[in-house]
Amino acid sequence: MTAQKLDGSATAAAIKGELKERVAALREAGVVPGLGTILVGDDPGSRWYVNGKHKDCAEVGIESIRVDLPATATQEEIEEAVHTLNADPGCTGYIVQLPLPKGRDENRVLGLVDPAKDADGLHPTNLGWLVLGNEAPLPCTPNGIVELLRRHGVEIAGAEVVVVGRGVTVGRPLGLLLTRRSENATVTLCHTGTRDLAAHVRRADIVVAAAGVPGIISADMVKPGAAVLDVGVSRVEGKLAGDVADDVWQVAGWVSPNPGGVGPMTRAMLLSNIVSMAEKARG
């Protein structure tokens, strides 16, 4: 058995096509959506992700505003950039690329973003709305995972989902998203304190690996036919390494490749948040 591919690149391309039409309609009505990014430092991975976000904007017709600060930027300088984008009428929404360099208070920065401009859905107010079930911008990677499964016809309602990793951009909000009434999954959130990871993963219909540990999910841990999504990003000898071992393709029913799976969906969901915000502002 070889798993079918959860093709994030193709799905993201289709979503971008849909967004391009919505952006054209907004522009015709005189509304120009704009995405801002704040990048601090010179981490090559973060720079690559931010470059990609601006390229995506150009593709669908969203304006982009780029604020790049040196690795030496102080907490105050980063907060100043946040206040500037909060006040910029050309900026519909924006993101602060994570992680920030060591020593900066990430939570304080995220808390200063205007919740109405929080394109990442990571402001405490928007995470709170996710808990309470109100409409608000959703974190991009979790939203991309749900959309990727939906568009490939993988049943989420009633599924046993195991999420490996409790980070703020993926694991924690994904658990909240999947347990909403509209998704209706049963979620187990595993982390470094989990005693028998393999026992949990073996029960899962859907496995989301976001631990950042290369190959942590191997074939012997996966239920035949399960959907396995690889969100892990590590570098091994300069090459991208995911959390899912190659032999999983022989057992699983669906696998999201890495690259080409959840990453492109994360980018597409960011654009989708901006377009929704612009439509909401238009009324």
Binding-site positions read 165-167, 233
**Rounded CA gap, 192 and 164, in Å?**
9
Considering only the stretches 71-79, 153-161, 261-269, 272-280, report the one whose residues sit in contact with ligand LMY7XDAE under the rule CB under 6 A: 261-269
**Rounded CA gap, 156 and 6, in Å?**
14
If one counts every other C-beta atom within 10 angstroms of the C-beta of residue 283, the result is 5
Query: Strand, coil or helix: what is 42?
Result: coil
- Contact (Cβ atoms closer than 8 angstroms) between residue 195 and residue 172: no
Question: Residues 143, 169, 273, 276: which binds ligand LMY7XDAE (CB under 6 A)?
Answer: 169
Query: Strand, coil or helix: what is 252?
Result: coil
**Catalytic residue check, 88:** no
- Contact (Cβ atoms closer than 8 angstroms) between residue 139 and residue 122: yes
State the number of CA atoms in the 13 A half-sphere of 271 facing the CB.
Answer: 30
Nearer to ligand LMY7XDAE, 109 or 226 (CB): 109
Question: Residues 71, 259, 280, 281: which binds ligand LMY7XDAE (CB under 6 A)?
Answer: 259
Distances (CA, A) of 258 to 84, 244, 255, 262: 35, 9, 9, 7
Q: Counting runs of H as helices and runs of E as strands, what totals does the chain give?
A: 9, 11
Q: Which of 7, 16, 56, 97 is catalytic?
A: 97
Whether omega before 124 lies within 30 degrees of 0, making that bond cis, reads no
Considering only the stretches 85-93, 155-163, 199-207, 253-261, report the one whose residues sit in contact with ligand LMY7XDAE under the rule CB under 6 A: 253-261
Instruction: Work out whether 121 is an interface residue with ligand LMY7XDAE (CB under 6 A).
Output: no
Question: Residues 34, 41, 61, 264: which binds ligand LMY7XDAE (CB under 6 A)?
Answer: 264
Nearer to ligand LMY7XDAE, 56 or 205 (CB): 56
Instruction: Work out whether 140 is an interface residue with ligand LMY7XDAE (CB under 6 A).
Output: yes
Least distance (Å) from ligand LMY7XDAE to the CB of residue 160?
A: 25
Q: Which of 7, 16, 53, 56 is catalytic?
A: 53
**Rounded CA gap, 202 and 42, in Å?**
40
Q: Residue with the closest Cβ to ligand LMY7XDAE?
A: 263
Cα 163 to chain centroid, rounded:
14
Q: Tokens at residue 258, please?
A: 């890495």
Considering only the stretches 76-84, 205-213, 216-224, 258-266, report the one whose residues sit in contact with ligand LMY7XDAE under the rule CB under 6 A: 258-266
Catalytic annotation, residues? 53, 97, 120
- Residues of the shown chain interacting with ligand LMY7XDAE in the complex, contacts defined by CB under 6 A: 49, 95-98, 120, 140-141, 169, 240, 258-261, 263-264, 266-267
